[in-house]
């Protein structure tokens, strides 16, 4: 496992500029803070199967999925370009 982690760190440092890495990590946090706290007073909680789901929880799961898809697309494109 140690070799895999070192390989991932080397790949990230070699192919991703620091600004892109920071924006990839900070954009979801910024969107969560701005959209989560500004719209949570306007949008009522969702009721799914009798459970109440607040908008912030709904937004957090979407941002996690968006970050995963975006990171995988950037990683996949770097492998495609390297070929």
Which residue would you say has higher pLDDT here, 32 or 25?
Answer: 32
Domain boundaries, the chain: 16-82
The predicted pLDDT at position 83 comes to 59
Residue with tokens 């620091």, as numbered in its chain: 18
Q: What is the rounded average pLDDT of the residues 49-71?
A: 89
Q: Is the pTM of this model over 0.85?
A: no
- Give which of 73, 78, 81, 80 is closest to 14, Cα–Cα: 78
Q: What angle do CA 40, 72, 4 make, to 5 degrees?
A: 120
């Amino acid at each position: 496992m140690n070799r895999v982690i070192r390989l991932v760190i080397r790949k990230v440092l070699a192919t991703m500029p620091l600004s892109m890495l920071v924006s990839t990590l900070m954009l979801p946090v910024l969107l969560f803070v701005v959209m989560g706290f500004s719209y949570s007073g306007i949008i009522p909680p969702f009721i799914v199967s009798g459970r109440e789901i607040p908008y912030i929880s709904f937004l957090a799961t979407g941002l996690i999925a968006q970050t995963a898809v975006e990171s995988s697309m950037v990683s996949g494109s770097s492998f495609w370009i390297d070929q």
